[in-house]
Structure 1
Amino acid sequence: MYELKPLDVASLSKKALFGAAIGLVLICFFLSNVNHPNPDWPKFWMVRPLIIVPLAGACGGAFYYFTNYLPFQKGWKKIAINVLSLFVFLIGLWMGIVLGLDGTLWN
């Protein structure tokens, strides 16, 4: 039977912050291209994507930590888990962007 390792809060925090930073940079890139926002949008329309997308990135980074936390990683299983983690991170980030920009840039 496998033994569970203790939770490494510092490593989890680093991976979550790295994922959030990727999300923040990506959404800032999208938002910086808006020169004249639609007057129908709310006054602080940028706040929602600036919160949701980094949260989605942080969740993806935490998922990466927890999948690498699994004890049975050797050989091809480690590669498969890393590919799965990357795929989940990208899908989560995409969903965060869609939820954040819904009603404004993606109407």
Structure 2
Amino acid sequence: MTHRTNLTTQPIQPASLGKRMVVGAGIGLILIALFLSGVKDPNPAWGKLWMIRPLIIVPLAGAMGGLCNYFIIRFRNQVGVNKAIAVIVSGLVFIIGLWLGMVLGLDGTLWD
């Protein structure tokens, strides 16, 4: 007798995924905008448009953090992890990813 298992994979919910990515990108954009608004006299060696790189890279890192958050929270039942642990891990992944995005975005300018 053959044992059959009906494994169903849940489809990705684009609305929920999109919301988390937009929220992550928004958090990243707000944080880097606040950080860059404090620069009064930038180094002339950086060029006129030195702010564009961090204003693009940090929100992208925030969006990827939102993507990781979605998948960690979504698949916690399949892995068998408690919800509180999954939320804490996804929060740490988001913070570390956002920090790395800020380092990458500000490399060569304020992060020198």
Provide Cα deviations, 1:29-51, integer angstroms capped at 9, x if missing partner.
01000111111112210000000
TM superposition score normalised by structure 2 = 0.88
Larger Rg: 2
Show structure 1 runs of 5+ residues with no match.
none
Provide Cα deviations, 1:1-53, integer angstroms capped at 9, x if missing partner.
65321110011000000000000000000100011111111221000000000
Residue 96 of structure 1 is matched in structure 2 by: 101
Q: Quick one: which of 79, 88, 101 aligns to 1:83?
A: 88
Q: Is the 8 A contact 2:76 2:82 kept in 1?
A: no
Residue 11 of structure 2 is matched in structure 1 by: 6
Alignment coverage as a number of residue pairs: 106
In the alignment, the residues of structure 1 paired with residue 23 and residue 74 of structure 2 have an alpha-carbon distance, to the nearest angstrom, of 17
In the alignment, the residues of structure 2 paired with residue 106 and residue 52 of structure 1 have an alpha-carbon distance, to the nearest angstrom, of 14
In the alignment, the residues of structure 1 paired with residue 35 and residue 108 of structure 2 have an alpha-carbon distance, to the nearest angstrom, of 15
The DSSP-based 3-state class of the residue aligned with 2:44 is coil
In the alignment, the residues of structure 2 paired with residue 103 and residue 35 of structure 1 have an alpha-carbon distance, to the nearest angstrom, of 17
Residue 52 of structure 2 is matched in structure 1 by: 47
Identity among equivalent positions (%) equals 55
Show structure 2 runs of 5+ residues with no match.
none
In the alignment, the residues of structure 2 paired with residue 65 and residue 15 of structure 1 have an alpha-carbon distance, to the nearest angstrom, of 7
TM superposition score normalised by structure 1 = 0.92
